């Protein structure tokens, strides 16, 4: 007897579409429009992420938006995004070599640029063209609009889910469905709902930086749809627009290149495509791949073989070859665990959150067995064209580029890395439940339970992405061994110590900060801490910062940023200059290629401790690292004044004026440097007079100018200056002391005693 040939479902056949729904157990058929499931999926997705609309910016949003000089130039920065590595807008030229392979994602970056241009126009920005001189960096920029950025992310994710549902309906046979109280629901619906609700996607959708992931998946799926339509209709127009969309996907994020394998995989499992169809589609899609790779090679400097010397960008820097690959395989097991049971979640898997393992470790062996079994099963059932095989192969194919197996991606693992490949997991779970659970009510109940748990986790996890500090506090409990998150928490605690403590207290944020950092603290303890004086709370934050930063350098001894932030915290807590100098020196020494912040801070500390030569040396290093920093230029002018080098002072004041107009304070600092340290009173007088010309109401300027006149023997000018000061503020004690000293030096004891008495009277009235 001849074997009966298995019939494949015709792609796009009406049989695979849900056109009506029948109420089970009733004679009534509810004729629902075919768009109802699409609307339901979209509304479900939007609702699930609606609480992110009021979030601010978190972690890598600084890289792509709030501190990216290309994005912050609005339309003027679009060209730069197309002609530079993604990281250059934030890190400068060194960003092109920061991670192996570089990053070229201009379209996702341009989308944020356009949104910034829109938001600044809505908010009435009068700057016109944005240049290096009027650009506003940081998340305090009044023209930022996080609501818009998050809304676009939600919209794009919602569109992704309804597109996914449409594609799955086209390719998956209708027989994989169950009867429900609202009619038959198929695998396409359940897989899409699981994908929409999966908590692992919060990092991509809730974080504005995840725009590249969301856009890449959306346009990759759209390019897949074009190929499905082509094989159904043989209309070349579908290949034309599909080729363009595939290029858009690639320009959003490199991961789209995996769909060059997903497309033939989908053809094989779900269509009757002929060899000619494969050749036509892959030949057409090879064009955007070639163009993208060419552009990428032109505008990124790092080759795939060039690994970063920084362990936070190269997680295998300290690993042996066997440890490297064993640890990579081990992360595969962690990903599977989080896909099945997504708790706890964390954004931070940096060194040393996942310690290295070797081939002899049980975790490696277990992961190898599980993942190997999945691959073997998929290959063994390849000829059967099982949906389970497709789901597994889709998972590993799309995951390959982010897995670290092919090349280092900069971090051992990240939850957003699974954003695309998790679709394979959702298809597989839906297929297994529908196929192997015979009781359809049990199938539906299982889906409802899983979907409910995922949805609750996703919705609550969204709140953790409110801002960086919230995320750091929450995730620090789940990434205890990560040097990076300990550094981040410590740095933000220092910032909190410098903020308005009274406002934090009134808003309830102090209690929230403490509770997040120590979930076991009692309400009574929280109330006690909340009622402490501002200075005590400030010191509490700084002490906690020092603890976290000490833990960071324990985990990663040569972590330059942790040493820098520890120096900052200790400086603000104790203001002990000899204590922080060696810490800043460690920060500078451990950063390959120079460290602006460490060198600049050393310049500040040495300047404060009146060691101008050491200050100058460090500031020049800082200037070499970041010549665009105006503060460094003006501080160099102050230091050269202390070194009594007028020509150098004039040079650096002019350099500073290139980026920012000279302020009265700049002249004042130079003047006091000449006068109080270098002893060059004539130059001190010149610059103090320049300060007064710009700000004629500042008492301190007159006080120091009067002292300079007096020390140089110009007593009449000292007296005239003190009298101007009294005209501005009659209750300024130092003015009367200067008058007393000047008259005494002129030999007028009567006037000297008179002004000395006035000085003592004022001090007594002021309680001094």
731 class by beta-carbon count within 10 Å (0-12 exposed, 13-18 middle, 19+ buried): exposed
Q: What is the pLDDT of residue 594?
A: 82
338 in Cβ contact with 415 (< 8 Å): yes
Q: What is the pLDDT of residue 313?
A: 87
**Average pLDDT of the residues of the chain:** 92
- 305 secondary structure, DSSP code: T
What are the pLDDT digits (tens) for 115-160? 999 999 999 999 999 998 899 999 999 999 999 999 999 999 999 9
User: Can you tell me which residue has the tokens 């999926």?
Assistant: 41
b/e string for 9-30 if b means 16 or more Cβ within 10 A? bebbeeebebeebbeeeeeeee
What are the pLDDT digits (tens) for 37-75? 999 999 999 999 999 999 999 999 999 999 999 999 999
- Give the integer Cα–Cα distance in Å for 28 and 49: 35
Radius of gyration of the chain (CA): 33
- Give the integer Cα–Cα distance in Å for 550 and 536: 21
- Give the integer Cα–Cα distance in Å for 527 and 278: 68
Q: Which residues pair with 177 in a beta bridge?
A: 186
Please report which confidence band the pLDDT of residue 184 belongs to, taking 50, 70 and 90 as the band edges: confident
* Count of CA atoms in the C-beta half-sphere (13 A) of 706: 24
249 in Cβ contact with 220 (< 8 Å): yes
Please report which confidence band the pLDDT of residue 27 belongs to, taking 50, 70 and 90 as the band edges: very low
Which H or E run includes 29?
A: strand 29-30
| CA 765, chain centre distance (Å) | 54
What are the pLDDT digits (tens) for 443-491? 999 999 999 999 999 999 999 999 999 999 999 999 999 999 999 999 9
76 class by beta-carbon count within 10 Å (0-12 exposed, 13-18 middle, 19+ buried): middle
- Give the integer Cα–Cα distance in Å for 202 and 90: 24
What are the pLDDT digits (tens) for 708-749? 999 999 999 999 999 999 999 999 999 999 999 999 999 999
Among the listed residues 574, 507, 505, 511, the one whose alpha carbon sits nearest the alpha carbon of residue 539:
574
Please report which confidence band the pLDDT of residue 182 belongs to, taking 50, 70 and 90 as the band edges: confident
Q: Is the pLDDT of residue 241 over 90?
A: yes
Please report which confidence band the pLDDT of residue 98 belongs to, taking 50, 70 and 90 as the band edges: low
- Give the integer Cα–Cα distance in Å for 579 and 668: 29
Q: What is the pLDDT of residue 180?
A: 81
Specify the length of the chain in residues: 768
b/e string for 224-247 if b means 16 or more Cβ within 10 A? bbbbbbbbbeeeeebbeebbebbb
What are the pLDDT digits (tens) for 515-543? 999 999 999 999 999 999 999 999 999 99
Q: Which residues pair with 29 in a beta bridge?
A: 22
Among the listed residues 436, 403, 552, 569, the one whose alpha carbon sits nearest the alpha carbon of residue 498:
569
430 class by beta-carbon count within 10 Å (0-12 exposed, 13-18 middle, 19+ buried): buried
User: Can you tell me which residue has the tokens 């040493």?
Assistant: 563
* Count of CA atoms in the C-beta half-sphere (13 A) of 588: 20
Q: Give the mean pLDDT of 277-293.
A: 97
Beta strand pairing call for 177-180 and 21-22: unpaired
Q: Is the pLDDT of residue 355 over 70?
A: yes
Neighbours of 714 (CB within 10 A): 17
User: Can you tell me which residue has the tokens 């960003």?
Assistant: 95
Determine the straight-line distance between the first and last CA of the chain, rounded to whole angstroms. Answer: 113
- Give the integer Cα–Cα distance in Å for 329 and 396: 12
DSSP string, 246-301: HHHHHHH-GGGGGHHHHHHHHHHHH----HHHHHHHHHHHHHHHHHHHHHHHHH--
Q: Is the pLDDT of residue 407 over 90?
A: no
What are the pLDDT digits (tens) for 195-228? 999 999 999 999 999 999 999 999 999 999 999 9
Q: Is the pLDDT of residue 165 over 80?
A: yes
Q: What percent of the chain has pLDDT over 90?
A: 87
Q: Is the pLDDT of residue 586 over 90?
A: yes
- Give the integer Cα–Cα distance in Å for 684 and 717: 14
């Amino acid at each position: 007897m001849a074997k009966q040939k298995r019939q494949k479902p015709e792609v796009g056949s009406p049989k695979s579409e849900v056109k009506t729904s029948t109420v089970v157990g009733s004679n009534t058929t509810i004729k629902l429009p075919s768009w109802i499931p699409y609307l339901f999926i979209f509304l479900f997705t939007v609702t699930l992420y609606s609480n992110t609309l009021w979030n601010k910016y978190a972690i890598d949003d600084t890289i792509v938006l709030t501190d990216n000089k290309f994005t912050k130039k609005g339309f003027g920065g679009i060209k730069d995004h197309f002609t530079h590595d993604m990281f250059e807008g934030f890190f400068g030229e060194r960003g092109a070599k920061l991670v192996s392979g570089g990053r070229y994602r201009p379209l996702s970056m341009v989308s944020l640029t356009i949104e910034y241009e829109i938001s600044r126009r809505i908010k009435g920005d009068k700057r016109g063209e944005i240049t290096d001189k009027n650009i506003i960096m940081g998340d305090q920029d009044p023209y930022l609009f996080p609501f818009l950025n998050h809304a676009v992310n939600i919209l794009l994710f919602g569109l992704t889910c309804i597109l996914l549902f449409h594609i799955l309906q086209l390719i998956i046979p209708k027989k994989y469905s169950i009867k429900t109280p609202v009619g038959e629901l198929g695998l396409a619906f359940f897989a899409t709902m699981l994908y929409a609700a999966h908590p692992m996607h919060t990092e991509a959708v809730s974080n504005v930086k995840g725009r590249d992931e969301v856009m890449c998946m959306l346009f990759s799926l759209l390019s897949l749809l074009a190929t499905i339509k082509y094989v159904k209709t043989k209309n070349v127009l579908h290949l034309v627009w599909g080729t363009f969309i595939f290029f858009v996907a690639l320009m959003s994020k490199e991961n789209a290149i995996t769909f060059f394998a997903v497309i033939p995989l989908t053809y094989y499992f779900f269509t009757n495509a002929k060899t000619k169809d494969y050749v036509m589609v892959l030949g057409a899609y090879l064009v955007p791949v070639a163009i993208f790779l060419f552009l990428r090679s032109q505008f990124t400097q790092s080759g795939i073989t060039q690994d970063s010397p920084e362990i936070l960008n190269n997680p295998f820097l300290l690993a042996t070859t066997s440890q490297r690959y064993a640890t990579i395989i081990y992360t595969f097991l962690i990903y599977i665990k989080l896909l099945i049971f997504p708790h706890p979640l964390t954004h931070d898997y940096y060194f040393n959150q996942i310690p290295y393992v070797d081939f002899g470790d049980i975790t490696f062996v277990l992961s190898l067995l599980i993942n190997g079994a999945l691959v073997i099963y998929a290959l063994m059932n390849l000829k059967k064209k099982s949906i389970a095989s497709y789901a597994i192969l889709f998972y590993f194919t799309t995951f390959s580029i982010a897995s670290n197996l092919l090349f280092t991606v900069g971090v051992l693992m990240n939850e957003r890395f699974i954003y695309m490949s998790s679709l394979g997991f959702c298809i597989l779970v839906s297929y297994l439940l529908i196929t192997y659970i015979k009781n359809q009510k049990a199938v539906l109940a299982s889906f409802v339970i899983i979907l409910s748990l995922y949805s609750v986790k996703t919705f609550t996890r969204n709140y953790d992405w409110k801002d960086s500090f919230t995320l750091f506090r929450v995730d620090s409990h789940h990434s205890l061994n990560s040097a990076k998150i300990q550094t981040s928490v410590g740095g933000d605690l220092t910032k909190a110590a410098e903020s308005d403590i009274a406002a934090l207290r009134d808003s309830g944020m102090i209690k929230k900060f403490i509770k997040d950092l120590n979930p076991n603290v009692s309400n009574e303890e929280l109330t006690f801490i909340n009622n402490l004086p501002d200075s005590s709370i400030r010191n509490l934050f700084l002490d906690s910062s020092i603890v976290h930063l000490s833990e960071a350098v324990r985990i990663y001894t040569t972590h330059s940023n942790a040493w820098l932030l520890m120096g900052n915290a200790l400086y603000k807590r104790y203001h002990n200059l000899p204590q922080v100098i060696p810490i800043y020196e460690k920060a500078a020494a451990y950063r390959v290629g120079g460290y602006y912040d460490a060198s600049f801070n050393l310049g500040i500390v040495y300047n404060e401790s009146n060691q101008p030569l050491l200050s100058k040396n460090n500031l020049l290093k800082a200037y070499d690292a970041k010549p665009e920093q105006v503060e460094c230029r003006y501080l160099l002018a102050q230091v050269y004044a202390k070194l009594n080098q007028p020509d150098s002072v004039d040079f650096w004041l002019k350099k500073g004026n290139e980026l920012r107009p000279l302020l009265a304070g700049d002249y004042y600092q130079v003047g006091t440097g000449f006068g109080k340290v270098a002893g060059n009173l004539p130059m001190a007088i010149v610059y103090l007079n320049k300060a007064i010309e710009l700000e004629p109401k500042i008492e301190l300027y007159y006080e120091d100018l009067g002292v300079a006149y007096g020390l140089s023997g110009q007593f009449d000018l000292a007296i005239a200056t003190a009298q101007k000061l009294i005209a501005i503020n009659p209750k300024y004690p130092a003015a009367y002391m200067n008058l007393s000293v000047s008259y005494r030096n002129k030999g007028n004891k009567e006037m000297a005693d008179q002004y000395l008495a006035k000085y003592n009277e004022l001090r007594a009235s002021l309680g001094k």
